[in-house]
Amino acid sequence: MNIPENEMKEGKRRCTSLMIDDNVVVDLALQSFDYATKLDAGTEKITDIFLSHTHADHYKKEVLLAYAAAADTKINFWCHKGAVPQLQLSEEEAERINICPVEILEKWDTAGMKVTALPANHLVEANLDEQPLHFIFEKDGKTLFYGCDGGWFQSKTWEYMRKNAVFDAMILEATVGECPGNFRIGTHNTFPMLRLLIAALSENGMLKENTILIGSHISGIGFDGNDDKVREELGMILAHDGFSITF
């Protein structure tokens, strides 16, 4: 598959895609399948893929089909019910994938995990019926939050998390750096917003003493590339190509 700019380089950051253990993928960035192959991640083991929303930096049909073709079993593909028309799958392509529409604030079991879909404060302009999602993954007594695109949490998302979750790790979008007045404030986090958010998460009991905070979905806007400074000020690790962590 010919995907542009798919050469992995240390410290480089591009579209966001996540693999959990060896059988789950979250979001289908342009380079996702190529990176998984280069990292010898065992794409044949993938059983489930989760999609936050259908913006082009999170979903490419060609990447979904590449995972489906490589997998030993028919892949479960989880997305908001309003996203299904935007997948643009033909009948033949759809036969190779279990399309699993989800409702917000729904919890279900799959791939040895419990998963909850939460509404994200984001917008797919081409399809107003689609609700972008954050996800909570629970497995073996550990809880992971994934939220790339969304800025401030919606009130129903915040209240659900506050009442139901204490996180071992959180992947938070850190799209914009030190630009407190950036116009993306409605749908993306800036570093000043993250300072407030992390303080609120901690004060409201959603973080443990050793919770791992990971910044992802990083643009070049207002960001000077100083990872050590971000770690010191925000207590946050910034993701990069090939980034891996165990908790």
Average pLDDT on 33-54 reads 93
Average pLDDT on 91-115 reads 95
> Angle at CA 102, nearest 5°, toward 98 and 103?
165
The beta-carbon contacts of 193-196 under 8 Å, at least 24 apart in sequence, are 193/151, 193/152, 194/234, 194/236, 195/233, 195/234
> Angle at CA 231, nearest 5°, toward 225 and 232?
115
- Can you tell me the distance from the alpha carbon of 70 to that of 77, in angstroms, rounded to the nearest whole number? 15
Rounded to whole angstroms, what are the CA distances from 231 to 189, 236, 241? Answer: 16, 5, 18
Rounded to whole angstroms, what are the CA distances from 88 to 61, 84, 109? Answer: 7, 8, 26
- Report pLDDT digits (tens) over 163-182: 999 999 999 999 998 888 88
- Can you tell me the distance from the alpha carbon of 135 to that of 80, in angstroms, rounded to the nearest whole number? 11
Cβ atoms of 71 and 83 within 8 Å: the answer is no
Tokens of 242: 């090939």
- Can you tell me the distance from the alpha carbon of 201 to that of 207, in angstroms, rounded to the nearest whole number? 6
Tokens of 163: 């009442």
Q: Which helix (H) or strand (E) holds 97?
A: strand 97-102
- Report pLDDT digits (tens) over 149-166: 998 999 999 999 999 999
pLDDT at 139 over 90: yes
> Angle at CA 27, nearest 5°, toward 26 and 33?
95
DSSP string, 131-196: --EEEEEEETTEEEEEE-S-SSPPHHHHHHHHHH--EEEEEEE--B-S-TT-GGGGTS-BHHHHHH
The per-residue pLDDT of the chain, averaged, comes to 91
Average pLDDT on 184-208 reads 94
From 66, 214, 62, 221, select the one nearest 148 (Cα to Cα).
Answer: 214
7 Cβ contact list (under 8 Å, min separation 6): none
pTM of the model: 0.93
Q: Which residues pair with 2 in a beta bridge?
A: none
